[in-house]
Amino acid sequence: MTETTTTPMMPAWRRETYGPADGFRLEQIPVPVPRRGEVVLRVEATSLNAGDVRLMLGDPLLVRPIYGLTKPKHPVRGMEVVGTVVAVGPQAIGAELGERVVGELVGGGGLASHVAVPASRLVPIRPDVTAEAAACLPVAGGTAWQALDLAGIGIRSDRRSDRRSDRSPDRVPDRRSDGTPGHRSGTASAGAVRDAARVQRVLILGASGGVGTFAVQLAALRGAEVWATCGERNARLVEHLGAVRTLDHRRSPLAELPAAHFDAVIDIAGGVGLRELQNLVAPGGTVVLVTGDGGPVLGPIPRMLKAALLSIGSSRRIRPCAASPRPEILAKLLELVSEGRLTPVIEREYPFEEGAAALAHVEAGHTVGKVVVRGA
């Protein structure tokens, strides 16, 4: 008698070729088996990013040698995932069977019922944080955090403190006992006024999307005075998140701003010349480039090279941000969400059966906060 074994199958949204969201199909594929250092998650939620759109289109061409020369190596999109560990591979240290975790995926895979992920990228989720909220954090929240670190926001500098006497003392930086940057508003004591004289002013370009909504909240939590660009329809939201002033990006607002007005500019939107951005920061300030925008072949690379050239010998540095998976940052973001100090903005949640529609939503380029797809 011959013994037959059947491979367990699972549903996944796939597109074998590079192209738009309407080419994704719901197919049955084998459930992954965890390799060394990996676990398999039963997916509870995944969230989508502008980066998913770039990878599904293979745009710019520069990404194709890494992500698949003629077709995507990862035909399933979704880079941020929340799920329960259902299988543990050899030497997968740190994640246990049955544990509920969140993490960033290698290349994609979240738009499926199961996904394999290195255990080292995962962080356990507290019961008081929803799967949908946690799924927004790894890429979007992590990028915003790393961009603010690069900009030096929340990192005190006495070097630049002397020229702040013109700043309003209405927002007073505070340090929590655990060292997490924070702020409190209200009337300041004499000592606090001295502190307020060091409030950093940051301009966030592209504040209404996934990275932007986190950047505004985190910059405010770090005690910065946040100015932001967004569409008129999103101004109220961005102000609610912590911006003291919003500028409509469709009305070329940057020309109206005085030179050297900011300690940092964080460009998540693109489309503004580097010299113009550099002129907005004060000496000692930093421009951080987060946007992946650029030409169809080399993407942001020429802009990054120009940034390096413009930074040579300048006291106003332009620094590209290439965010990487950082579980220790993810853990801090989860803590802030659990404490109610950080709220992921979710524009829309889709059921798993509408995965392609969720991708099309993000592809349209007008997402407010995040788009989340619930597990199968």
Ligand X SMILES: NC(=O)c1ccc[n+]([C@@H]2O[C@H](COP(=O)([O-])OP(=O)(O)OC[C@H]3O[C@@H](n4cnc5c(N)ncnc54)[C@H](OP(=O)(O)O)[C@@H]3O)[C@@H](O)[C@H]2O)c1
Given candidates 267, 367, 373, 374, which one binds ligand X under the rule CB under 6 A? 367
Under the binding rule (CB under 6 A), the answer on residue 209 touching ligand X is yes
Tell me which of 111, 112, 321, 356 binds ligand X, using CB under 6 A: 321
Q: How far is the CB of 152 from ligand X (least distance, A)?
A: 17
Give the nearest distance from C-beta 46 to ligand X in angstroms.
14
Quote the radius of gyration of the chain (alpha carbons, Å). 22
| Cβ closest to ligand X, residue 172 vs residue 262 | 262
Using alpha carbons, list the distances in angstroms from residue 289 to 278, 307, 328, 339, 350: 11, 9, 23, 30, 31
User: Which residue in the shown chain puts its C-beta closest to ligand X?
Assistant: 209
Considering only 14-22, 46-54, 219-227, 308-316, which stretch makes contact with ligand X by CB under 6 A?
Answer: 46-54
Site for ligand X in 288-307 (CB under 6 A): 290-293
Closest CA to 110 of 26, 45, 165, 157: 45
221/13 Cα distance (integer angstroms): 37
Residue pair 361/348 in contact (Cβ under 8 Å)? The answer is yes
DSSP secondary structure letters along 348-362: EEE-GGGHHHHHHHH
The answer to whether 114 contacts ligand X (rule: CB under 6 A) is no
Closest contact distance (angstroms) between CB of 196 and ligand X is 29
- The footprint of ligand X on residues 238-257 (CB under 6 A) is 249
Closest contact distance (angstroms) between CB of 52 and ligand X is 8
- Does an H or E element contain 74, and which? none
Q: Does 366 bind ligand X (CB under 6 A)?
A: yes
Size of the site for ligand X (CB under 6 A): 33
Instruction: Give 21-48 as a DSSP string.
Output: GGG-EEEEEEPP---TTEEEEEEEEEEE
Q: Hey, what are 134's tokens? A: 């946690």
Per CB under 6 A, contacts with ligand X among 216-235 are: 229-231
Spatial contact of 11 and 28, defined as CB atoms under 8 Å apart: yes
The minimum distance between CB 140 and ligand X, in angstroms, equals 6
Q: Nearest distance from residue 253's CB to ligand X, in Å?
A: 9
CA 258, 261, 264: angle at the middle one, nearest 5?
135
Residue ranges in contact with ligand X by CB under 6 A: 49-51, 54, 139-140, 143, 205-206, 208-212, 229-231, 249, 268-269, 271, 290-293, 321-323, 362, 365-368
